[in-house]
Amino acid sequence: MQNDDSIIYGIHPVAELLATKLRQIDHLYFDKERQSSLLFDLIKLARKERLRYQLVPAQKLDYLCGGAVHQGVVAVCSAKEYTGPEALLEMLSLKTIAPLLLVPASVEDPRNLGAIIRTAVAFGVDAVLLERKNTAPVGSTVAKASAGLLERMPLVKPKSLEGLIATLASKGYLVVGAQTGGPEKPQEVDCTGPTVIVVGGEDRGIPPYLMKQCARLVGIPIAPDANSLNVSAAASILLYECARQRNFSFVNKSPTTAQGGG
């Protein structure tokens, strides 16, 4: 059972949450056995809003809300407010150092996502861009795995991540994807200008719609006996290389700049 206020359950409370959008919903769970027009309407709305949802056994919902009457639906809210795309673009336009953004695509393990956010703060990333679906809920596990650094990193979860990256590319950002066996080594790609680094999730890698937006693809050399690296380890290596190329200029950021908008 969750021990914080990130759990909202019941048809009407969840419907109100979706209508008012006062809190960011990271994940919706529906009882797969329960038949209800009201539940179906919520599922349709979740699809329209591109929210991540699952049809699960009732026991899963019972666990999440501690056995309370959930009426077949439970919402898991984010432990952190997201930065909107417009606010992100405004924040980036004010920077005097070339921005560095990270996209951990399809990372579904909250411990991996938390570790990635911790690394992103350590190596001067300005914001982390997340998919609406196929991303771990930003809850207490992510916060813990980030070693308390979650609040220092602006997170952006736009309705269209593809559209936001296209906008960044049109503004001169280099979009670099990490791919096992990629044709270039990280040190061969100049990441000193505005850069977006894209890494793939535990099972899916970089999804096709994001892969096609990558102008460069890099692979991290590893021993033949190793199939691949954990996504958190891969992100650490790539972000370290970006920081090295930039002479670790992010150390000159003020605390306000490092934390960004919320």
pLDDT of res. 262:
34
Distance between first and last Cα of the chain: 28
Task: Mark which of 16, 49, 77 sits at the end of a domain.
Answer: 77
Residue range of the domain that includes 103:
85-259
Residues 34 and 98 in one domain: no
Residues 100 and 170 in one domain: yes
Phi-psi region of 67 (alpha: psi -120 to 50; beta: other; left: phi over 0): left
Q: Could you please report the per-residue DSSP string of 201-226? A: BTTTBS-HHHHTT-SEEE-----TT-
* Other Cβ atoms closer than 10 A to 260: 19
2 in a domain, yes or no?
no
Domain count, the chain: 2
Residues 116 and 56 in one domain: no
134 in a domain, yes or no?
yes
Say whether pTM exceeds 0.75: yes
Please name the residue ranges forming H helices in 21-127: 37-48, 58-64, 85-93, 110-122
Report CA-CA distances (Å) from 236 to 2, 104, 106.
30, 12, 17
Task: Mark which of 27, 51, 77 sits at the end of a domain.
Answer: 77
Q: What are phi and psi of 42, to 5 degrees?
A: -65, -40
Percentages (nearest 5) of helix, strand, coil residues in the chain: 40, 15, 45
Residues 104 and 199 in one domain: yes
Handedness of CA 34, 23, 200, 152 (dihedral sign): negative
Q: In this structure, what is the dihedral angle of CA atoms 143, 144, 146, 149, given to the nearest 10 degrees?
A: 70
What CATH number does residue 69 fall under? 3.30.1330.30
pLDDT along the chain (262 residues), means of 10: 69 88 86 93 92 92 90 90 95 96 95 96 97 86 90 93 98 96 95 97 89 96 86 96 94 46 36
Report the C-alpha gap between 207 and 185 in whole angstroms. Answer: 21
Residues 90 and 73 in one domain: no
pLDDT of res. 148:
87
pLDDT of res. 261:
37
Report the C-alpha gap between 10 and 136 in whole angstroms. Answer: 22
**What strands lie across the sheet with 73-77, from one edge to the other?**
7-9, 73-77, 25-31, 53-56
What CATH number does residue 174 fall under? 3.40.1280.10
Residues 6+ apart with CB under 8 A from 219: 178, 179, 180, 181, 182, 183, 184, 185
Give strand ranges (E) for the chain. Answer: 7-9, 25-31, 53-56, 73-77, 100-104, 127-129, 155-156, 174-178, 195-199, 216-218
Name the residue among 44, 42, 49, 45 with its Cα closest to residue 9.
42
Q: What are phi and psi of 137, to 5 degrees?
A: -60, 135
Task: Mark which of 77, 93, 111 sits at the end of a domain.
Answer: 77
pLDDT of res. 3:
42
